[in-house]
Amino acid sequence: MRTRILNKFVLAAAVFGLGIAAASTGGPMASPDAVIAKKLAHEIRMYPRYSIFDNISFVVNEGRVELLGEVNQPYKKADLGRIAQRVPGVVSTANDIKVLPLSSMDNRLRMQVARAIYRDPSLYRYGMGALPSIHIIVDNGHVTLEGVVNTEADKNIAGLRAGGAGLSFGQVTNNLRVENPSHKS
């Protein structure tokens, strides 16, 4: 039963745009790494400056946390590193978060892509809530979509809207995960 609850937590964390790899003993009690992963996912979601323009994931292994992903401001990398260090049970942290280039062109592209996606009638619901599930990563004009959507159709529409927003230097990389791959829209 607890393994099912842990599996649901990992799925719920993915819904929030947080990729988590945590060791599980498969026994009746949650492993220490799973407890750390749950607490860290909560702390990242609660970080007030975490936005749709950032993408954070992490791996927990025997109390060692490796932070991964991208942020659009240098202070966010430092803040998230400190947050991870303060989670009870964390032995060490490796902060491998990439700071995206500070560029007015990239900032403008982020806003254009966000408007194109979240103003679409079939995608606007993904923008509701404190932390929208579609994250827009712009690195020197290259756009990558991260996060979770309900259907393959939503994934495809988001990719089309992002590609049609203009200013990007090529294809949009659509890494959105589909929560219900068999569901038809």
Q: DSSP letter string over 15-29?
A: HTT-EEEE----SSS
What local confidence, expressed as pLDDT, does residue 154 receive?
A: 96
What local confidence, expressed as pLDDT, does residue 129 receive?
A: 81
Name the residue among 85, 82, 42, 45 with its Cα closest to residue 64. 85
Query: Which of the four pLDDT bands, split at 50, 70 and 90, describes residue 1?
Result: very low
Query: Which of the four pLDDT bands, split at 50, 70 and 90, describes residue 112?
Result: very high
Burial of residue 36 (number of CB atoms within 10 Å: 0-12, 13-18, 19+): buried
Name the residue among 37, 33, 46 with its Cα closest to residue 14. 37
Q: Is 149 in a helix, a strand, or coil?
A: strand
The conformation of residue 58, written as its DSSP 8-state character, comes to E
Query: Which of the four pLDDT bands, split at 50, 70 and 90, describes residue 59?
Result: very high
Please tell me whether the overall predicted TM-score, pTM, comes out greater than 0.75 for this model.
yes
Residue 46 one-letter amino acid: M
Strand 55-61 and strand 64-71: pairing? antiparallel
Residue 88 one-letter amino acid: P
How far apart CA 180 and CA 174 sit, in angstroms, is 17
* pLDDT reading at 18 higher than 80: no
How far apart CA 181 and CA 83 sit, in angstroms, is 34
Give yes or no for a contact between 65 and 84, defined as CB atoms under 8 angstroms apart.
yes
Average pLDDT over residues 16-32: 54
Query: Which of the four pLDDT bands, split at 50, 70 and 90, describes residue 171?
Result: confident
